[in-house]
Amino acid sequence: VNHLLGIKYLNQADIDLIFKTADHFKEVINRPIKKVPSLRDITIANLFFENSTRTRLSFELAEKRLSADVINFSASSSSVSKGETLIDTVNNILSMKVDMVVMRHPNPGAGIFLSKHVDASIINAGDGTHEHPTQALLDSYSIRERLGEVKGKKVVIVGDILHSRVALSNIFALKLQGAEVKVCGPKTLLPRYVESLGVGVETNLRKALEWCDVANMLRVQNERMEISYFPSTREYTQQFGVNKQLLDSLDKQIVIMHPGPINRGVEITSDVADSKQAIILDQVQNGVAIRMAVIYLLASKIKP
């Protein structure tokens, strides 16, 4: 059985194939008839044990554009609250003849654990602080679309790197494709292991922005912190928030990214988020084509 559990398990050829397939689906979903019959015999369950707007809707739309049958599960309205385990929950769903599972879960490694215990293709839609592979794929795809290629580009990931699955998956994906990567944020939100991944560390936002071609601005994930990792939101914004004045003072136009959800006025001001320099909504749009590609490629291995 094939899975997409993390970027860690992919190679350059896998990413090239996903992007080539996404190019095709991007063209398809821009046609008046956006649907293809490719996955008519496949049933996919979207299991969300953690909140989501973009990822959940994007997967569902991708599945429907491919003509798959789709069922949706959200933990808050399920029997998980009655004590049912993850494996029991998923095996019950699979017994209804489901072929593929898309899962978001708060625990790091939940998808890897599940893949060892159930007989279905698993796509990780974000597992705690670990990985968010389809986000990293759509991020790289969006850089490629805006700048021509990822190889050789300088990308800084700014913010709460410590709690961010988006950061880790992006680091793996960008390094694999030959980009130069730095992380920037308060020391307390930069994990010690990050340099061992071949990533530079910068605690001065201006210097990081002067260096980069692309800045990926992350949200501070207060929901994953038991204590505060920096003095106050105002101080965070002063030191690590990007605003128009700061961008205009650089001697080049850099590309601004954000995976969402945005905290406007904290890590990014509205005039930057809504500017032509930002490709935030392109990222969301590309998410559908990337997820169609991932699902299609995995399903082609389970189709009779």
Residues annotated within the binding site are 54-55, 82, 104, 132, 135, 165, 219, 260-261
Binding of ligand CP by 221 (CB under 6 A): no
Buried b or exposed e, range 24-42, using 16+ CB within 10 angstroms:
ebbebbeeeeeebebbeeb
Q: Helix or strand or coil: residue 186?
A: coil
Among 12, 30, 53, 245, binds ligand CP (CB under 6 A): 53
Binding segment for ligand CP (CB under 6 A), chosen from 28-36, 66-74, 209-217, 259-267, is 259-267
Among 259, 286, 288, 296, binds ligand CP (CB under 6 A): 259
Enumerate the known binding-site residues for carbamoyl phosphate.
54-55, 104, 132, 135, 260-261
Angstrom distance (rounded) from CA 136 to CA 259: 9
Count other C-beta atoms under 10 Å from residue 299's C-beta: 21
Contacts (Cβ under 8 Å, ≥6 apart) of 6: 111, 112, 124, 130, 131, 133, 169, 172
Binding of ligand CP by 223 (CB under 6 A): no
Our CB check for ligand CP shows the closer of 186 and 259 to be 259
Partner residues linked to 102 by β-bridges? 46, 123
Enumerate the known binding-site residues for L-aspartate.
82, 165, 219
Contacts (Cβ under 8 Å, ≥6 apart) of 77: none
Query: Number of residues in contact with ligand CP, rule: CB under 6 A?
Result: 9
For residue 180, CA distances in Å to 124, 127, 152, 201, 212 come to 25, 25, 6, 12, 9
Our CB check for ligand CP shows the closer of 136 and 180 to be 136
**Sheet containing 255-257: order of strands:** 200-202, 180-184, 154-158, 214-217, 255-257
Which positions from 129 through 148 interact with ligand CP, judged by CB under 6 A?
Answer: 135
Residue nearest to ligand CP (CB): 55
- Name the minimum Å distance from CB 16 to ligand CP: 23
Contacts (Cβ under 8 Å, ≥6 apart) of 53: 260, 261
Our CB check for ligand CP shows the closer of 262 and 302 to be 262
Q: Which amino acid, 192?
A: R
Angstrom distance (rounded) from CA 219 to CA 189: 12
Binding of ligand CP by 265 (CB under 6 A): no
Angstrom distance (rounded) from CA 73 to CA 92: 12
- Name the minimum Å distance from CB 287 to ligand CP: 8
Our CB check for ligand CP shows the closer of 22 and 38 to be 22
Among 8, 54, 146, 224, binds ligand CP (CB under 6 A): 54
Binding segment for ligand CP (CB under 6 A), chosen from 66-74, 114-122, 191-199, 253-261, is 253-261
- Name the minimum Å distance from CB 119 to ligand CP: 27
User: What is the contact surface with ligand CP in residues (CB under 6 A)?
Assistant: 52-55, 126, 135, 259-261
